[in-house]
Amino acid sequence: MTVAVIGAGVAGAAAARTLRRNGVEPLVFEASDSVGGRTRTVAGDECDIDSGAIFLMGSYDATFRFLRESGHDTELRRWEARAAVMDEDGKTYPVRFDRPWTFLRLPHLRWRDRLRLARTIGALSVRSGPAPFDTDGLATADDGRTLAEWARATVGDRAYEYVVRPLMGPLTGADPEKISAAFTIALMSQVHRTRLSVPRGGLGRIASWLLDGIDVRVSTPVRSLEHRSSGVRVGTADESFDVDGVVVATDVRQARALLDGVVDDDVCAALDAVAPIPAYHVLLGYDTDPWPAVGHDLVVQAGPGRHHNYGVLLNSRRAPYAVPRGGQTVSVYFDRDQAPESDEEQVVARARGAVDRAFGVATPDFHRVFGMDVALIAPTPWHYESMRRARDAMPDTIRLAGDYLSHSGIEAALDSGERAARDVLASSVSPRSVIARDRPAGGRSAS
Ligand SMILES: Cc1cc2nc3c(=O)[nH]c(=O)nc-3n(C[C@H](O)[C@H](O)[C@H](O)COP(=O)(O)OP(=O)(O)OC[C@H]3O[C@@H](n4cnc5c(N)ncnc54)[C@H](O)[C@@H]3O)c2cc1C
């Protein structure tokens, strides 16, 4: 049996690993010149940089199962995520991101707000709801309310503005007025599992660990898929491959483009309806740490009004590999729609403004800008149900994997990749050996 995996982000890497563990050597195609997708750790002159993902959460069950099985759990480093909430007056208040109940200390809350919050967290923690990345469970739990609607009604306006919004902004990167409440409710019901960690050497290690020993055709974008009676034809610029099954593990926009005319219109319509969040990650670097004594690593905005970034993050404690020796780096993440300027200088200036407000004025010695058309997704109400249907309506031989199938995130990607591979394996009836057409070999390989 031959199965192609399109995309070597975490979802594709997990699919490839699952196939291999079941005796099927996957054909993995990756469009860019390295693996990891949005978890890529990029080697820079001064330090390595996590271009996208920042941490793992304790509730990542599939991810931690893999890390334990492969022995890589010992390579994780705990990150305490000491944070500060910045209010509308620019004042900061210490909280712990991995201990959300520390937000109850904020002076902006009245006793009534604290009581409602404590009661809500208490009630959620004893109920049996879905896991935060379980598409089917989230689909059932989603009652059509946005996060903002649910939070304002359940814990009140103040607790929403000073606790729920600043907590969930960095965790979802999405506007709470637009996304479904289901993920946040599921996460809050596992509040005791909020422990955060980071692989030594960077988030990019996860995809590399998953792909250990698996050959990847890098710089080889798949351009076409053709569903045939006896399998699928996968086309790259130079070759085509007849395979028994395919796991499409790209971001949602690429998946939609590849599936055009290949699958039901309903599936295409569901993928079209997914709202991607385009974002910038601006990394500012300092040869000498301008803030050696600062006690917190992350500053998040709180209070009513527009919030212009998801968080401003000092990297030295989270990821020592991501700072030059004796220096510091700061990452600023913001929605591209909130920063419409396309000029790199303006984007960097916006990030500098956020850092100056969060930690104090300093002049960076270097910077990197990562602009992403699909950084995360905004799971609007009914998103999970729509993805459940799209996933289940796919042909047996072409399965979807990717973070967008549940909520964004490494766990969503990894879990969906494993599942898609299992589904393709279950659909296999007639083994086939791979036939490379047109040209005998193509693409560079990396394992
Ligand atoms: C700034 C930022 C911060 C984040 N922070 C966190 C965090 O702290 N924790 C967390 O869990 N998650 C975080 N995420 C989300 C997380 O990174 C993603 O949800 C996850 O990595 C998505 O994995 P994926 O495999 O589904 O998709 P991707 O990582 O997008 O992988 C898809 C791969 O497919 C390849 N590809 C695309 N088209 C083709 C084609 N035609 N042919 C071949 N290959 C193709 C791409 O090059 C890519 O490598 C963050 C994301 C961003 C952007």
Domain parsing of the chain, residue ranges: 3-39+204-263+394-438, 41-78+197-201+276-377, 98-191
- Backbone φ and ψ of 377, nearest 5°: -130, 160
CATH fold group of domain 98-191: Guanine Nucleotide Dissociation Inhibitor; domain 1 (1.10.405)
d(CA 289, CA 327) in angstroms, rounded, equals: 4
Q: Of all atoms in ligand 1, which is nearest to the CA of residue 370?
A: 1
Per-residue model confidence (pLDDT) at position 341? 67
pLDDT 10s digits, 294-347: 999 999 999 988 777 788 999 999 999 999 999 999 999 988 877 676 788 999
Q: What is the DSSP string of 163-211?
A: IIHHHHHHHH-S-TTTSBSHHHHHHHTTGGG--EEEETT-TTHHHHHHT
- Backbone φ and ψ of 359, nearest 5°: -120, -15
On the question of a common fold for 3-39+204-263+394-438 and 98-191, the answer reads: no
CATH fold group of domain 41-78+197-201+276-377: Polyamine Oxidase; Chain A, domain 2 (3.90.660)
Q: What is the DSSP string of 357-400?
A: HHH-----SEEEEEEEEEEEEE--TTHHHHHHHHHHHS-TTEEE
Whose CA is closest to atom 2 on ligand 1?
52
In terms of residues, how long is the chain? 447
pLDDT 10s digits, 237-250: 999 999 999 999 99
CB 405 within 8 A of CB 315: no
d(CA 391, CA 393) in angstroms, rounded, equals: 6
CB 100 within 8 A of CB 167: yes
Residue 172: which of 206, 146, 153 has the closest Cα?
A: 146
Sequence-separated (6 or more) residues with CB below 8 Å from residue 172:
179, 183, 184, 376, 378, 407, 408
Distance 320 CA to ligand 1 centre (A): 23
pLDDT 10s digits, 27-75: 999 999 999 999 999 998 889 999 999 999 999 999 999 999 999 999 9
Whose CA is closest to atom 6 on ligand 1?
53
Q: Which residues line ligand 1 (CB under 6 A)?
A: 6-12, 29-32, 37-39, 52-55, 221-222, 249-251, 254, 279, 281, 333, 372, 375-376, 402-403, 408-410, 413
Distance 328 CA to ligand 1 centre (A): 26
- Which residue reads 């520390």 in tokens? 102
Distance 436 CA to ligand 1 centre (A): 28
Whose CA is closest to atom 21 on ligand 1?
38
d(CA 46, CA 378) in angstroms, rounded, equals: 34
Beta bridge partners of 366: 285
Per-residue model confidence (pLDDT) at position 53? 97
CATH of domain 3-39+204-263+394-438: 3.50.50.60
Distance 255 CA to ligand 1 centre (A): 13
| HSE-CB for 312 with a 13 A CA cutoff | 23
Residues of the chain below pLDDT 70 = 339, 341, 429-447
